Chain A
Amino acid sequence: MYSSITKKVIMSLMGLFLITFLLVHLSLNLTLIISSSKDTFNLAAHFMGTNPVVKVLEVVLFGGFIIHIFWGIVLFFQNWAARPHSYAVWNHSQETFFSKYMIHTGALILAFLAIHLLDFWYKSRFSGGMPITQIDGIKYDDMGQLVLDKFKSPAYCSLYVIFLIFMGFHLDHAFQSALQSLGINHSKYTPFFKKFSRFLAVVITIGYISIPIVIYFIL
């Protein structure tokens, strides 16, 4: 079994990796609502689905998720076992708020991930029946249309917004905590990293939420 610090280092490295993925994914998705046609998004989706390098990275990404989730669960049970008898009165007010709920927000993100992968990733790769579009005379899967259709449902739209807010809560603690686990704490830079961590969480969350909102209300 790895030591407690090694486990935390693995968690933080995987976490930081997943944050970079979130940024890439977000920037591609935003093309759908920023660009005037779905073409940019569809070409990007096609590239992400067919490029051999991306295909390798996709396996790495799934690995990153699995490792992060696996050790998150192991840590949760170990921490739970470290206090067999809990307190009658527990004043939580002194803790940074979202850090207490990482396993809970994490579990919600996992549920969200399952729904999300099934509706988009699995559908475009395996289940078939994708709408087709033509760009410069070449046929492509119309991923953009799939997204637009999905988010025209108010229930589906709200589901995404709610789950994404919980992802934001998870991210709020994530970045600065990962740095601390990696031993990066410096009197000069840590105050900035803490602010940057919140900034990152807010920007990523608002960025992602804007997509279903814009599609539902504007597009």
Chain B
Amino acid sequence: MNLTLKIWRQKNAGTKGKFEKYKLTDISTESSFLEMLDVLNEKLINENQEPIAFDHDCREGICGTCGLYINGRPHGPEKGTTTCQLHMRKFKDGDVITIEPWRAKAFPIVRDLIVDRSAFDLILQAGGYTSVNTGNAPDANSIPIPKLDSDRAFESAACIGCGACVATCKNASAMLFVSAKVSHLALLPQGRIEAAERVQKMVAKMDELGFGNCTNTYACEMECPKNISVSNIARMNREFIKAKIFAEVPTAVETGD
């Protein structure tokens, strides 16, 4: 198939970027989207031009590294799919494909289609963990957990942190990502111990990093490659409201001051 690509080129965060047009011929319909870009980059290298920088790692749809804004949608037109799992058979011969990086204040562009998503790491560092003693793995059934809770925790934990939710949200809000991380721990007894502290710290960090506010457009849920549900956002709101109203404040003696 023959394609015209309009790709965002930008040297670094400090410079102004612009779209460049590229023509590709004889692309196999069976190649993946990233393989198609590989072909383009080979061509550019052979022509002594700078190849297009884009993020990718596992190419199996589980690492969350790839992420391109394709024809106005994160990870392209296929539902529940990462960019690397998108195949060219989803496009038509002669298509013009516009490829942009994620755009959000909290995700500055590094180069071309690569953005810096370390804001997500900072949110996780703020509270996306449980404090447990290391040692032998505990027996799997020592703490009974309702099946539905464990299933839902698992579904929330499926979030790969790719940033598609932020990219597609009209407000560049990170609520789906943060709520998935809050949820998968809040649903399990091990995570409940630090639940009140966690949700407040992670939301505070999210706000501090310049993500927008959620206005419940639910675009994130529609575009998430892992089909993370917005019910996670409601759960996080619930956890947050509960923590703000009911969480005890330690006394001076308890904090050791």
Residue ranges of A at the interface with B (Cβ–Cβ < 8 Å): 3-9, 75, 78-79, 81-92, 94-96, 99-100, 102, 173, 176-177, 180-185, 187, 190
Whether a CB of chain A sits under 8 angstroms from the CB of B231 is yes
CB pair B212 A102 closer than 8 Å: no
Does the CB pair A87–B222 fall under 8 Å?
A: no
CB distance from B119 to the nearest CB of A (A): 11
Per DSSP, chain B at the interface is mixed
CA distance A84 to B237 in the complex (A): 26
Contact of B215 with A182 in the complex, beta carbons under 8 Å: no
B105 touches A181 (CB 8 A): no
Taking CB atoms and an 8 Å cut-off, the chain B residues in 208-257 that contact chain A are 210-219, 222-223, 230-231, 233-241, 244
Cα-based distance from A91 to B74 in the complex (angstroms): 10
Task: Name the residue on A nearest B72 (C-beta).
Answer: A91
Q: Which of B41-49, B139-147, B168-176 contacts its partner?
A: B168-176
CB distance B213 to A4 under 8 Å?
yes
Once the chains bind, are B73 and A180 in contact (CB under 8 Å)? no
B206 adjacent to chain A (CB < 8 Å)? yes
CB distance from A88 to the nearest CB of B (A): 6
Q: Are A180 and B211 in contact (CB under 8 A)?
A: no
B99 to chain A, nearest CB (A): 9
Docked Cα-Cα span, A78 to B211, in Å, equals 9
The 4 closest A-B pairs by CB, nearest first: A183-B238, A185-B234, A91-B72, A82-B212
Q: Specify which of A4, A90, A96, A100 is in contact with B72 (CB 8 Å cutoff).
A: A90
What is the minimal beta-carbon distance from A2 to any residue of chain B, in angstroms? 9
Could you write out 9 A-B pairs with CB less than 8 Å apart? A4-B211, A79-B215, A81-B210, A83-B104, A85-B103, A92-B219, A94-B168, A182-B241, A184-B238
Residues of chain A with a CB closer than 8 A to B217's CB: 95-96, 99-100
| Contacting pair B230 A88 (CB below 8 A) | no
User: Once the chains bind, are B168 and A84 in contact (CB under 8 Å)?
Assistant: no
Residues of A within 8 A of B214 (CB): 4, 8, 181
Closest to A1 in B: B207
Q: In the complex, what distance in Å separates the CA atom of A100 from the CA atom of B212?
A: 14
Residue contact A83 to B172, C-beta cutoff 8 Å? yes
CB distance from A33 to the nearest CB of B (A): 35
Picked from B175, B216, B231, B244, the residue with its CB within 8 Å of the CB of A177 is: B216
Mask: chain B, 185-211; 1 = CB below 8 Å from A; 0 = not: 000000000000000000110110011
| A102→B215 contact, CB < 8 A | yes
Nearest B-chain residue to A183, judged by Cβ:
B238
Q: Is the CB of B215 within 8 A of A185?
A: no
Question: Cα distance A87–B69 when bound, in Å?
Answer: 9
Q: Which residue of B lies closest to A82 (CB)?
A: B212
Report the nearest B residue to A85, measured CB to CB: B103
Q: How far is the CA of A24 from the CA of B211 in the complex (A)?
A: 38
B112 CB within 8 Å of chain A: no
A180 and B215 contacting across the interface, CB-CB below 8 Å: no
Contact A180 B105 (CB under 8 A): no
Residue among B8, B215, B239, B244 facing the most chain A CB atoms (10 A cut-off): B215
Instruction: Point out the residue from A75, A87, A184 that lies within 8 Å of B100, measured CB to CB.
Output: A87
